[in-house]
Amino acid sequence: MTLPNFDLHFAVLALEWIFVAYFLVAHGGHILLAVASIGSLRRLIRSENAKMLPPLSTGYETPFSIVVPVNDASEDVAQFVHSLFNLDYPEFEVIVAVDGASDETLSELRQLFEMESFPEAFWRQVRSKPVRGVYRSARYPKLRVIDKAKGGTGDTINAGVNAARFPLVCIAYPDCALQRTSLRRLVQDFIEDPNTVASGTAPRIAGRDLISSGFIEQPRLEGQLSSQVQAAENLRKEHCGRHGWAALNACLDVSDRLCVFRRTVLIEAGGCNRGIVNPVLELLQRIVRQHAESGKPCKVAYSAAPLVWQSAPTTSAAINQSIAHQRIGLSDALKLNGKLLRLKWTGAIGRLAIPFLALTEVAGPSIELFSLLFFLSAFALDLIPAQHLIAFAVCSAGLGILVSWLAITLDAIVFRTYAGAGSYIRLFIGAIFENAGFRQLKALCSAPKMPQDKSPQTTAEQQA
């Protein structure tokens, strides 16, 4: 018995074309998404100019319930909560949901905000661990603190949703800093379009010293090279990704650091899924899937303006955890809501957004790392000429750098996120390292350990 002849050079050439095609599709798709967002950017510029006129809707905005999930590892909780009281918005409440924190953490919150135990009963509309106590502050009437048994981030958010009284629920994490007008920006889409079920944004990167006051006034990009690389990556995902998908009404990837939902829609969906990396993102995609299944119109709004800020992780362990949180969180959400691919009338969501996100954001780092190792090995074994290696470098890193520079240029023209030319020079440098090393190394990041996943119950199951 003879084995069929194996043409090594043909196999190598086929793999070359497959990898080159991947990079052309990925980078070309990001450029098209940037083009798709231009119309939205033009409307945003006009709205910025309109801000010089007196506001017409002051006092009539939909009130917010801001849910702040807290655990023992949370930092700067008091500073973040204090900053919320200075937001430029007429009516809102702040619910700090404490997830099984130690007596020391709870006593610190009670002392700082002068809180006393308050016997409050509320309807348990979404599943959560038992609430051990509710505390109110005479000094800060908008604030309530909920002490609950430990159950994870999703469970903590559910407890806050059960206590919420207002039509819009804003989930905000205490490791960030907001703009004073963040709520006004996020509520606009709910006012203009009744089909809006959620509104999100993504954090910009700022130095830890710049968010010490709770708000960002004149942000600058300083510090280590790793911070500049992560800031460049954020802008690429923002202006050559999420904003373009939002223009196509196919936004499925928003940050969990600041996100707003209609409370009724959130409850009908069953609340946050407990025991997964990113329960807010999974909830968003589940809401879109449920509306598609029932044939209801649905819009997920997205604001590309800098509304929330976060300091970049600097240690290798913290960077690994941040990357795994984003990548594994998106992967879990897409798996649990993969039915969107098969549903009719999902439009760009099922045909474009899900396949593109799965290919470039979930599988992308592994593909890029493997392609790099393949081309270097093939060149070292004299299987490909130097011209092929150079062509690969141009298609992978070269086009990627151009896409990142396009995003940075759009940000500098439209938003002027960072103060000073020096910040944007650092971003251009960071974009080079982001495409030539950082993205490939993301494939080596391990998934964080999470408790066993438990699917949320429907409202009917909870009532039964």
Give strand pairing partners of 145.
96, 135
Q: What is the mean pLDDT of residues 12-19?
A: 93
Task: Select the more confidently predicted residue: 207 or 295.
Answer: 295
- Give the model's confidence band at 323: pLDDT under 50 very low, under 70 low, under 90 confident, else very high: confident
Alpha carbon distance 388, 9 (integer Å): 13
Residue 44 structure tokens: 């945003």
Most confidently modeled of 51-60, 212-221, 428-437? 428-437
Per-residue pLDDT for 6 more than 70? Answer: no
Dihedral angle over CA of 264, 265, 269, 274, nearest 10: -80
Q: pLDDT tens across 357-368, in order?
A: 999 999 998 899
Kindly indicate the confidence band of residue 453, based on its pLDDT and cuts at 50, 70 and 90: very low
Of 96, 42, 87, nearest to 66 (Cα)?
96
What does DSSP assign to residue 239?
A: I
Q: What is the pLDDT of residue 379?
A: 94
pLDDT at 311 over 80: yes
8 Å CB contact between 170 and 258 = yes
Task: Give the SS3 label for residue 238.
Answer: helix
CA dihedral 30, 32, 36, 38 (to 10 degrees): 80
Residue 363 CB partners (closer than 8 Å, separation 6+): none
Cα 349 to Cα 143: distance, rounded to the nearest angstrom: 38
Cβ-contact 258, 182 below 8 angstroms? yes
Q: pLDDT-based confidence at 4, cuts 50/70/90?
A: low
Residue pair 165/183 in contact (Cβ under 8 Å)? The answer is no
Average of per-residue pLDDT across 112-131 = 86
Q: What is the DSSP secondary structure assignment for residue 396, as one 8-state letter?
A: I
Burial class (CB in 10 A: 0-12, 13-18, 19+), 246: buried
pLDDT higher than 90, residue 459: no
Mean pLDDT estimate for the chain: 85
Measured between alpha carbons, how far is 70 from 75 in angstroms, rounded to an integer?
A: 9
Q: Give the least confident one: 98-107, 222-231, 379-388, 423-432.
A: 98-107
Task: Point out the least confidently predicted range of 27-31, 327-331, 340-344.
Answer: 340-344
CA distance 263 to 132: 23
Taking the model in full, what pTM does it have?
Answer: 0.88
Buried b / exposed e across 155-184, counting CB within 10 Å, b at 16+?
bbbbbbbbbbeeebbbbbbbbbbbbeebbb
- Of 274 and 241, the structure prediction assigns the larger pLDDT to 241
Q: Are 188 and 299 in contact (CB under 8 A)?
A: no
Contact yes or no for 206/216 (Cβ under 8 A): yes
Where do the H-state alpha helices sit in 217-275? 225-237, 243-247, 263-268
Q: How many helices (H) and strands (E) does the chain have?
A: 19, 12
What pairs with residue 309 in β-bridges?
177, 204
The answer to whether residue 51 scores a pLDDT higher than 60 is no
The residue type at 407:
A
Across 146-155, 171-180, 188-197, 437-446, least confident range: 437-446
The residue-averaged pLDDT of 317-343 equals: 88
3-state SS assignment for residue 144: strand
* Percentage with pLDDT > 90 across the chain: 49
181 backbone dihedrals φ, ψ, rounded to 5°: -100, 15
- CATH code of the region 33-49+167-361+448-463: 3.90.550
Choice among 288-292, 423-427, 458-462 with the minimum mean pLDDT: 458-462
Domain residue limits, the chain: 33-49+167-361+448-463
Average pLDDT, stretch 312-328?
85
pLDDT tens digits along 134-151: 999 888 899 999 999 998
Query: Exposed, middle or buried: residue 457 (CB in 10 Å: 0-12, 13-18, 19+)?
Result: middle
Residues 267-308: pLDDT tens digits? Answer: 999 999 988 889 999 999 999 999 999 988 999 999 988 889
Structure tokens at 111: 């002392």
> What is the predicted pLDDT for the residue at 302?
92
**DSSP secondary structure of 191-216:** HH-TTEEEEE--PEE--GGGGTTSB-
When pLDDT is averaged across residues 88-95 and rounded to a whole number, the result is 92
List residues bridging with 215 in a β-sheet: 178
Average pLDDT over residues 244-264: 92
Per-residue pLDDT at 52 exceeds 60: no
For residue 390, the model assigns a pLDDT of 94
Q: Which region holds residue 74: left if phi is over 0, alpha if psi is between -120 and 50, else beta?
A: beta
Highest mean pLDDT among 374-378, 435-439, 444-448, 453-457: 374-378
Determine which of 208-217, 405-414, 431-440 has the lowest per-residue pLDDT on average: 208-217
Query: d(Cα 167, Cα 162) in Å, to the nearest integer?
Result: 12
User: Which pLDDT band, with edges at 50, 70 and 90, does 3 fall under?
Assistant: very low
